[in-house]
Amino acid sequence: MIAIYPGSFDPITFGHLDIIERGTQLFDRVIVAVLSNPNKQPLFSVEERIQQIQNCTQDLSGVEVDHFDGLAVEYAKQRDAKVLLRGLRVLSDFEKELQMAHTNQTLWQNMETVFLATSNEYSFLSSSVVKEIARFGGSVEHLIPKSVALEVYKCYTKTPQVNPNPTHPINNLPPKNSSSKKNFNNWRSSL
């Protein structure tokens, strides 16, 4: 059975990779489908995101990476997949995802949505959180694969609003004692 795991993946996080890996244990094939969303200003192009995901999943069997525009249900029909794989972090995710699952079934009766609860260590994690931390010079290597983190850092070193930070990981200095990481840990523990 084929499952489609749709999303923006801008950038891919350890939470996404957790869902992909667990999905491969449930389905014969998991197609990670990168959505080209015209309503969002992505950090990375679709092609860059596909390459990042391929690099991060190359050791997982049964994973394919592709992209699509439009409705996930229509893409699933084209790929002969009847399952959408979705990760749930918090209650608000469930409400939104349940509504989407019901909507998708009105578009195609054969469409099923399988929800996987995100592992505890990733319950707070989103691509938006990663970008926000990196934008202000914080370390994100504990949230996303190192190769992707380096690409994220490069994006923000080109951004004029970011003040040069001598403890920024792009400068190859260890971020262990940086106040950014301390502030992030304080923020994370307040969730």
What does pLDDT average to in each consecutive run of 10 residues of the chain (191 residues)? 97 97 97 88 95 97 96 96 95 90 96 95 94 94 96 77 42 39 42 42
153 assigned binding-site residue = no
29, 67, 89, 135: the catalytic one is 89
Other C-beta atoms closer than 10 Å to the C-beta of 44 total 21
97 assigned binding-site residue = yes
85 assigned binding-site residue = no
40 assigned binding-site residue = yes
16 is catalytic: yes
127 is catalytic: yes
Q: Residue 179's pLDDT is what?
A: 43
Domains and CATH numbers, the chain: 2-121 (3.40.50.620), 127-189 (no CATH)
**Rounded to whole angstroms, how far apart are CA atoms 68 and 10?**
15
29 is catalytic: no
Ramachandran sector of residue 70 (left: φ over 0; alpha: ψ -120 to 50; beta: rest): left
Q: Residue 37's pLDDT is what?
A: 78
* DSSP-derived secondary structure letter, 27: S
Q: Residue 93's pLDDT is what?
A: 86
92 is catalytic: no
14 assigned binding-site residue = no
Q: Residue 36's pLDDT is what?
A: 87
127, 139, 178, 180: the catalytic one is 127
**Quick one: 106 exposed, middle or buried, by C-beta within 10 A (0-12, 13-18, 19+)?**
exposed
What's the count of helices (H) and strands (E) in the chain, helices before strands? 7, 5
Is the peptide bond preceding residue 175 cis, with omega within 30 degrees of 0?
Answer: no
94 assigned binding-site residue = no
pTM: 0.80
Q: Residue 122's pLDDT is what?
A: 94
